[in-house]
């Protein structure tokens, strides 16, 4: 097995060890290795990539976390340039078309069109009497998107500098991060249908409008407003390209490399203790496992900085995902490239609350994605086939009773529960696409226990810390930690999404190297060789 961990790796000293091969970890590793540092990435899973890896069954494969990415269609944009820098320009993207998201609420269809002007005009066409509110809403979205750059850039600052000038970089963003999405939308309009439509993509950050920070809502909407894109070859192309860069610059990536704990000596990180007892030493340790994992599980010292503070921040939503493989191409089965947000009614809050109270009830939201339709290379690799994913929320408590049993070796009661959920989700999918009923070859369900097993997130959460107003007031969510030579990266120090995780890697690299990495990224040009 390629990249399989070997104890020989423990015989070397590294400039940096990165724990976890998610987007933030691989980005950090790529940048450090390009800067000449000796880097080792340790991944406990048998597949690298974190939520960017793919899941396979028979002749089918599905992404597990990257359903679409915004802003990479802008060749001069910072996100596109950042992806080019960390992949040496080898990662390619497919545009999802004029519509990237569609929400269906109680049978009513609303399309989210590519382009700020086009989307505004589309929303006004749906709600002509709300033109003023709609235009003001999109102005706020753009404003907060701009303020976010300064807010997260502040996290590259040394603590002493942040204490003196950081407030001025944070205050504009915090004005909106401290308000909920519902608060802001309700200040613009009383039209409850419009509010439901504008907040229909809330599943992208995992909180309903009355609980989510408006800042994260605005950042996500602004991220996608110029359209959605998908990696050519599927989401696994992302870690593949990053790992090639890491290895070509002398770095190493090891799988099935579980870390038991970070070694702390006199409040200084000096290495890691592996599950098999190996000790690997490094000058810098970077945790890409999330702040809860880092401070609750990987740091064993009696004096554990931040443990209580971080545990006051709740984990994000957990989910179930139905993976469907079909005999028939996307064209034949008439599958769209855009995602579908399917709601039973416009009452988002009460429907979600009702779902949380009834384990066997119908979820308030189903998210439907078509990875094969988005991937321009799919039919060349898998002719005559297609794939779908259906996602809905599932509190970890609903499956917690089986948490002590092993993956793929849980009891019959668990299998029965999964079958019931799977059947319900399958029926909902067929109600939207009745033509697939006799074309399904593979149908498999994952639960929060699967996420917990592979990602080590204690509650099976997919977005790290929840994106509530309180999160954006926590000044500890940054690359530096109270332990010397121990750093954080990943979505917890920025926010949800593969683009944000990439920027977390940039932030962490800037802090470690004390260099203007952004300038290098902006100057980077793809080699034509």
| C-alpha separations of 310 from 23, 208, 307 in Å | 22, 22, 5
- Tell me if 12 is assigned to some domain: yes
Q: Do residue 485 and residue 416 come from a single domain?
A: no
Q: Beta-carbon neighbour count of residue 8 at 10 Å?
A: 8
Tokens representing 376 are: 């321009």
Q: Do residue 26 and residue 12 come from a single domain?
A: yes
Residue at a domain's end among 455, 485, 505: 455
Q: Do residue 275 and residue 355 come from a single domain?
A: no
| Domain extent at residue 138 | 114-225
Q: Do residue 481 and residue 451 come from a single domain?
A: no
pLDDT score, position 409: 82
Q: Do residue 407 and residue 324 come from a single domain?
A: yes
DSSP 77: S
Residue at a domain's end among 225, 258, 283: 225
- Tell me if 463 is assigned to some domain: no
Q: What is the rounded CA–CA span in Å between residue 166 and residue 30?
A: 28
* Number of domains present in the structure of the chain: 3
**Nearest residue to 219 via CA among 143, 154, 153:** 143
- Tell me if 124 is assigned to some domain: yes
Residue at a domain's end among 191, 225, 259: 225
pLDDT score, position 454: 83
pLDDT score, position 411: 86
pLDDT score, position 370: 98
pLDDT score, position 405: 87
pLDDT score, position 309: 75
Q: Do residue 139 and residue 33 come from a single domain?
A: no
Q: Do residue 299 and residue 363 come from a single domain?
A: no
The answer to whether the CB of 110 falls within 8 A of the CB of 127 is: no
**Nearest residue to 268 via CA among 246, 280, 283, 287:** 283
Quick one: CA dihedral 295, 238, 142, 193, positive or negative?
Answer: negative
- Tell me if 393 is assigned to some domain: yes
**Nearest residue to 90 via CA among 221, 246, 270:** 246
Edge to edge, the sheet with strand 365-369 lists 108-113, 99-105, 339-343, 365-369, 385-393, 319-327, 440-446
pLDDT score, position 455: 82
pLDDT score, position 240: 97
**Residue 474: Cβ-neighbour burial (10 angstroms; 0-12, 13-18, 19+):** middle
> Model-level pTM?
0.95
CATH code for the domain of 503: 3.50.50.60
Instruction: Tell me the pLDDT of the chain (529 aa) as tens digits.
Output: 689 999 999 999 999 999 999 999 999 999 999 999 999 999 999 999 999 988 889 899 999 889 999 999 999 999 999 999 999 999 999 999 999 999 999 999 999 999 999 999 999 999 999 999 999 999 999 999 999 999 999 999 988 899 889 999 999 999 999 999 999 999 999 999 999 999 999 999 999 999 999 999 999 999 999 999 999 999 999 999 999 999 999 999 999 999 999 999 999 999 999 999 999 999 999 999 999 999 999 998 766 666 777 788 899 989 999 999 999 999 999 999 999 999 999 999 999 999 988 887 889 999 999 999 999 999 999 999 999 999 999 999 999 999 888 877 888 899 999 999 999 999 999 999 999 999 999 999 999 999 898 888 889 998 999 999 999 999 999 999 999 999 999 999 999 999 999 999 999 999 999 999 999 999 998 876 5
- Tell me if 188 is assigned to some domain: yes
Q: What is the rounded CA–CA span in Å between residue 132 and residue 485?
A: 51
Tokens representing 365 are: 């939201």
Q: Do residue 319 and residue 447 come from a single domain?
A: yes
Encode 147-160: b = buried (16+ Cβ within 10 Å), e = exposed.
bbeebbebbbbeee
pLDDT score, position 305: 65
- Tell me if 253 is assigned to some domain: yes
Q: Do residue 273 and residue 331 come from a single domain?
A: no
**Nearest residue to 39 via CA among 401, 509, 375:** 509
- Tell me if 105 is assigned to some domain: no
**Residue 128: Cβ-neighbour burial (10 angstroms; 0-12, 13-18, 19+):** exposed
Edge to edge, the sheet with strand 93-95 lists 69-70, 228-231, 93-95
- Tell me if 336 is assigned to some domain: yes
Q: Do residue 337 and residue 382 come from a single domain?
A: yes
Q: Do residue 219 and residue 306 come from a single domain?
A: no
Determine what percent of the chain falls in helix, strand and coil, rounding each to the nearest 5: 45, 20, 35
Q: Do residue 213 and residue 242 come from a single domain?
A: no
């Amino acid at each position: 097995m390629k990249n399989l961990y070997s104890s020989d790796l423990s015989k070397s000293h590294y400039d940096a060890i990165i724990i976890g091969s998610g987007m933030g970890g691989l980005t950090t590793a790529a940048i450090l290795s390009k800067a000449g540092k000796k880097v080792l990435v340790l991944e406990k899973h048998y597949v690298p990539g974190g939520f960017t890896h793919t899941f396979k069954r028979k002749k089918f494969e599905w992404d597990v976390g990257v359903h679409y990415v915004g802003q990479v269609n802008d060749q001069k944009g910072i996100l596109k340039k950042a992806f080019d820098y960390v992949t040496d320009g080898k990662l390619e993207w497919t545009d999802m078309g004029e519509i990237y998201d569609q929400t269906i609420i109680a049978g009513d269809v609303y399309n989210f069109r590519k382009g700020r002007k086009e989307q505004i005009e589309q929303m006004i066409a749906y709600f002509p009497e709300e033109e003023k509110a709609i235009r003001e809403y999109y102005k706020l979205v753009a404003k907060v998107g701009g303020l976010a750059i300064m807010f997260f850039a502040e996290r590259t600052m040394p603590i002493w500098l942040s204490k003196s000038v950081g407030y001025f970089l944070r205050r504009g963003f915090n004005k909106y991060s401290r308000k909920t999405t519902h608060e802001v939308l309700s200040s613009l309009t009383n039209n409850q249908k419009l509010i439901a439509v504008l907040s229909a993509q809330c599943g992208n950050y995992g909180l309903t409008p009355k609980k989510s920070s408006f800042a994260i809502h605005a950042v996500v909407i602004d991220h996608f407003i110029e359209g959605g894109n998908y990696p050519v070859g599927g989401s696994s192309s992302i870690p593949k390209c990053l790992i090639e860069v890491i290895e070509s610059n002398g770095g190493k990536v090891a799988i099935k490399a579980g870390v038991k704990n970070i070694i702390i000596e006199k409040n200084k990180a000096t290495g890691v203790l592996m599950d098999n007892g190996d000790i690997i030493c490094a000058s810098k340790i970077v945790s890409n496992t999330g702040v809860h994992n880092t401070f609750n599980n990987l740091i064993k010292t009696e004096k554990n900085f931040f443990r209580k503070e971080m545990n006051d921040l709740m984990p994000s939503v957990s989910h179930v995902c139905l993976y469907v493989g079909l005999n028939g191409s996307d064209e034949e089965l008439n599958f769209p490239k855009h995602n579908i947000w399917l709601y039973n009614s416009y009452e988002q809050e009460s429907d979600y609350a009702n779902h949380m109270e009834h384990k066997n009830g119908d979820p308030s939201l189903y998210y439907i994605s078509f990875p094969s339709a988005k991937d321009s290379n799919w039919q060349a690799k898998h002719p005559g086939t297609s794939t779908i994913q259906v996602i809905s929320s599932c509190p970890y408590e609903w499956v917690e009773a089986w948490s002590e049993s092993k993956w793929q070796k849980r009891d019959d009661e668990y299998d029965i529960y999964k079958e019931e959920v799977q059947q319900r989700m399958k029926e909902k999918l067929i109600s939207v696409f009745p033509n697939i009923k006799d074309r399904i070859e593979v149908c498999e369900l994952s639960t929060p226990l699967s996420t917990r097993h592979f990602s080590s997130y204690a509650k099976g959460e997919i977005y790290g810390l929840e994106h509530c107003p309180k999160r954006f007031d926590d000044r500890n969510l940054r690359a530096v930690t109270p332990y010397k030579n121990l750093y954080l990266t990943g979505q917890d120090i920025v926010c949800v999404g593969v683009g944000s995780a990439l920027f977390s890697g940039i932030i962490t690299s800037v802090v470690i190297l004390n260099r203007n990495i952004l300038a290098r990224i902006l100057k980077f040009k793809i080699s034509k060789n």
